[in-house]
Chains A and B, each alone.
Chain A
């Protein structure tokens, strides 16, 4: 039973390119959360999705960022026209229900570097 799988582990993009980060939740988990960790800063919530629905996107930057969690396949965090300030570690977490009794399972993260 694999855990939360994120890929790629490391991603390098030039300024202006698009970045696509993938998150496959644990089997049986239908709730996905994306968090961002900027260099030397704490983790910050970005977006919470259930299958085919965005439940809470209060942490998403207003422009260039979007997220989806389709009926089939992984959740995708998409960053268009990346800038240097987007360089960060992006973590995905999943849970089987909205407020699990035992916590969340995190992936290993995607480290995005914008050059």
Chain B
């Protein structure tokens, strides 16, 4: 079993829809990261959080440490949000990241 699981694997939404991507992990972590990767492109760090909630523009990330679960929300989705969204964690004893397999999001007009 992977240490970090994401759902759904693939997601198609219409422009304007509210989107939620989920991430569950099975170990104690020091921080949870959300990353964005466009096809053939580089990786952009969206959020790093260890508790509560963070917001940046139309993106919101939440984490529940007790339930070992995090969500990434996109409000008023737009076709330019189409990308792969990756959840990753770091632990207290290591700074390397362990990644989920990603959620492929397609937002259509």
What residues of chain A have their CB less than 8 Å away from a CB belonging to chain B? 31, 33, 35, 41-45, 48, 56, 59, 91, 93, 95, 98-109
Contact = CB atoms under 8 A, between A and B. Distances in A.
B66 interface: no
Given A104-B33, A105-B45, 12 more contacts: A33-B96, A42-B86, A43-B86, A45-B98, A56-B94, A59-B96, A93-B43, A99-B95, A100-B48, A103-B47, A104-B45, A109-B42
A53 B48 CA distance: 26
Nearest to B98: A45
A102 B45 CA distance: 9
Contacts of A33: 95-97
Given A103-B45, A106-B45, A42 B94 contact: no
Interface in B20-51: 30-31, 33, 35, 41-45, 47-48
Contacts of B100: 42
B85 interface: no
* Chain B interface helix/strand/loop/mixed: strand
A109 B40 CA distance: 9
Nearest to A46: B96
B101 A98 contact: no
B103 to A, nearest CB: 11
Contact of A42 (B42, B48, B95, B102): B102
A98 to B, nearest CB: 5
B95 A98 contact: yes
B96 A91 contact: no
B97 A104 contact: yes
The 4 closest A-B pairs by CB, nearest first: A108-B42, A103-B48, A106-B43, A42-B101
Contact of A99 (B41, B90, B99): B90
